[in-house]
């Protein structure tokens, strides 16, 4: 088989707009596995969220979570972890407090999200029962003071997200963050900024995971829709952007799907590239 690893993004790619993986996508992944291939889920989500999506649907997946900050093999063994330096996280928080004191941000450890309040997007999801209170607060902890919490506890922060629907504010924050040399900046949505440790991205993580399986990036085919997928698409033998992907990502990709994330893109690439 030409490709030994299929690396898939989740939101906006494998999942439809309701956050659900369709039956055709599941069948395509299982068919790839039956041919001897390895499925690697590469997402900005944390490990527990990724596992929850595939629970009872498909087994034997490898995970690259939080934009490449942590990876688990198909036996659920941790292959590597690359946390942010807490000093850098505190620098970002101080910058936000000074210039945009009411802006929403959260930071993520392996299986938990921490924030000082609930953002408007999540409030709408809770109000409309898109997510339940039990589900939300099982993985999301509200804290009084982020800096105090970080200083008192030795938590490994793997990703830091800033969310705002004002693009001009986000662009201004990106410009401010350029002075911090030890962080990596990308986005998975037009309304967010995602921060990881310098050098941490899905592409580098996929390279390390492939090496773990004694394979290389030349054995990989990958698919995504946002700029946090860019390095993964660039480094893979074939990088695919979904029809609904950001235009900038489409320019990087070797192929753009005819279908979008609501119409089983994995089935399309399975029949076009795998068999």
Residue 101: which region, alpha, beta or left (left: phi > 0; alpha: psi -120 to 50)? alpha
pLDDT at 234 over 60: yes
Same domain, 193 and 102: yes
- Last residue of one domain, picked from the residues 168, 197, 226: 197
CA distances from 51 to 3, 189, 219 (A): 24, 21, 24
Same domain, 39 and 172: no
pLDDT of residue 127: 64
pLDDT at 221 over 90: yes
Same domain, 147 and 69: no
Q: Count up the domains in the chain and report the number.
A: 2
Same domain, 99 and 131: yes
Same domain, 175 and 107: yes
* 18-27, 121-130, 233-242: least confidently modelled range: 121-130
CA distance 131 to 35: 36
- Specify the CATH number for the domain of residue 14: 3.40.50.1000
pTM of the model: 0.91
Query: For 2-22, what is the mean pLDDT?
Result: 96
Number of Cβ atoms within 10 Å of the Cβ of 258: 11
pLDDT in tens, 177-193: 998 999 999 999 899 99
Same domain, 216 and 258: yes
% of the chain beyond a pLDDT of 70 = 95
Same domain, 52 and 77: yes
pLDDT in tens, 80-108: 999 999 999 999 999 999 999 999 999 99
- Specify the CATH number for the domain of residue 93: 3.30.1240.10
Same domain, 155 and 118: yes
- Last residue of one domain, picked from the residues 197, 213, 247: 197
Which among 186, 181, 138 has a CA at the least distance from the CA of 162? Answer: 186
Q: What is the mean pLDDT of the chain?
A: 93
Range of the domain at 119: 86-197
- Last residue of one domain, picked from the residues 177, 197, 217: 197
Same domain, 67 and 132: no
Query: For 211-237, what is the mean pLDDT?
Result: 98
Task: Give the pLDDT band of residue 137 (cuts 50, 70, 90).
Answer: low
């Amino acid at each position: 088989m030409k490709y030994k690893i299929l690396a898939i993004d989740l939101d906006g790619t494998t999942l439809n707009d309701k956050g659900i993986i369709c039956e055709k996508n599941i069948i395509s992944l299982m068919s790839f596995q039956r041919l001897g291939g390895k499925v690697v889920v590469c997402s900005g989500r944390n490990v527990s969220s990724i596992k929850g999506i595939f629970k009872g649907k498909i087994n034997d997946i490898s995970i690259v979570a939080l934009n490449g900050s942590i990876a688990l093999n198909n036996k659920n063994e941790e292959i590597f972890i690359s946390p942010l330096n807490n000093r850098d996280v505190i620098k970002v928080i101080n910058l936000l407090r000074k210039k945009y004191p009411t802006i929403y941000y959260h930071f993520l450890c392996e299986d938990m999200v921490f924030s000082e309040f609930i953002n408007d997007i999540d409030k709408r999801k809770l109000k409309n029962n898109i997510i339940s209170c039990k589900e939300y607060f099982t993985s999301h902890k509200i804290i009084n003071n982020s800096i105090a919490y970080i200083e008192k506890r030795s938590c490994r922060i793997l990703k830091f997200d800033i969310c705002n629907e004002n693009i001009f504010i986000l662009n201004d924050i990106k410009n401010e963050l350029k002075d911090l040399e030890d962080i990596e900046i990308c986005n998975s949505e037009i309304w967010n900024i995602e921060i990881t440790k310098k050098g941490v991205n899905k592409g580098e993580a996929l390279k390390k995971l492939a090496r773990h399986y004694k394979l290389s990036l030349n054995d990989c085919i990958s698919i995504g829709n946002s700029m946090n997928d860019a390095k993964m698409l660039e480094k893979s033998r074939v990088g695919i952007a979904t029809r609904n992907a950001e235009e900038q990502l489409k320019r990087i990709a070797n192929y753009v799907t005819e279908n979008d994330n609501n119409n089983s893109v994995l089935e399309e690439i399975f029949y076009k590239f795998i068999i």
